[in-house]
């Protein structure tokens, strides 16, 4: 499974990329707003740090303007992925933009039928939102399982299943078990995957015993 980071925070992206933990980045209007920075500048900077796909979302809701915005965003760098919402116009824009050779991430997916239509529209990535489904009392990971099963029924589908709206380390595990191709994770959750109390306890014991030996490796 590939790991994308779900943020527009350049310092975080740089640090995680240097650790070799990133295959790509997803941003959205809310994440750009949090940075307080110009979107083109931020996305350009991110594309310089990460070689993999970097999603940048259109702000228009009508087909023609989505196309114009998508094409503008794609000019930022070769690895920009144009993110469009899962609406009729978004799917239409997806078909046109993928036809022009752009990568397209169809976002705000909350049902298996929506994911089927995104694949039909030629989406490079489909982004089902696990956390927001959990928020309304549903089980987000079940949607990942459903989409995986459906996509696997049709080998001609090459849309990649990108599990989004990840809020906890458990969401990452559930997405992996359900067969997501990619998971996009906020930096704090990604770092949290590393943590385990027994790792900390074990390391403390090893260091304490090593000190007692009086030895040094270097």
Contact set with ligand E4P (CB under 6 A): 6, 26, 28, 107, 127, 129, 131-132, 164-165, 184
161 three-class SS: strand
- Closest distance to ligand E4P from the beta carbon of 205 (Å): 37
Tokens 């594309």 correspond to what residue? Answer: 47
List, in order, residues 6 or more apart from 116 with CB less than 8 Å away.
Answer: 150
68 counts as catalytic: no
Nearer to ligand E4P, 77 or 110 (CB): 110
- Closest distance to ligand E4P from the beta carbon of 129 (Å): 5
- Closest distance to ligand E4P from the beta carbon of 168 (Å): 11
β-pair partners for 8: none
Nearer to ligand E4P, 52 or 208 (CB): 52
The single residue of 34, 83, 92, 173 carrying the catalytic annotation is 83
DSSP string, 141-153: HHHHHHHHHHHHH
Neighbours of 210 (CB within 10 A): 12
Nearer to ligand E4P, 70 or 199 (CB): 70
Nearer to ligand E4P, 82 or 156 (CB): 82
- Between CA 6 and CA 198 the distance in angstroms is 28
- Closest distance to ligand E4P from the beta carbon of 127 (Å): 5
84 three-class SS: strand
Catalytically active residues are: 83
């Amino acid at each position: 499974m590939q790991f994308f980071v779900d943020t527009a925070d350049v310092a975080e992206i740089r640090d995680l990329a240097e650790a070799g933990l990133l295959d790509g980045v997803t941003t959205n209007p809310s994440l750009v707003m949090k940075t307080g920075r110009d979107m083109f500048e931020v996305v350009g900077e991110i594309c310089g740090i990460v070689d993999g796909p970097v999603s940048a979302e259109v702000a228009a809701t009508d087909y023609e303007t989505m196309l114009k915005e998508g094409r503008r965003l794609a000019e930022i760098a070769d690895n920009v992925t144009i993110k469009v919402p899962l609406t009729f116009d978004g799917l239409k824009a997806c078909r046109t933009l993928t036809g022009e050779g752009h990568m397209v991430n169809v976002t705000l997916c909350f049902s298996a039928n929506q994911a089927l239509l995104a694949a039909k529209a030629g989406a490079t990535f489909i982004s089902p939102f696990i956390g927001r489904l959990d928020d309304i009392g549903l089980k987000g990971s079940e949607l990942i399982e459903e989409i995986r099963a459906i996509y696997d029924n049709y080998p001609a589908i090459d849309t990649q299943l990108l599990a989004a709206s990840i809020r906890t380390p458990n969401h990452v595990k559930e997405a992996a078990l359900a067969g997501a191709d990619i998971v996009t994770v906020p930096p704090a959750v990604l770092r949290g995957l590393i943590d385990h109390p027994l790792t900390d306890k074990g390391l403390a014991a090893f260091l304490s015993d090593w000190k007692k030996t009086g030895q040094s490796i270097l």
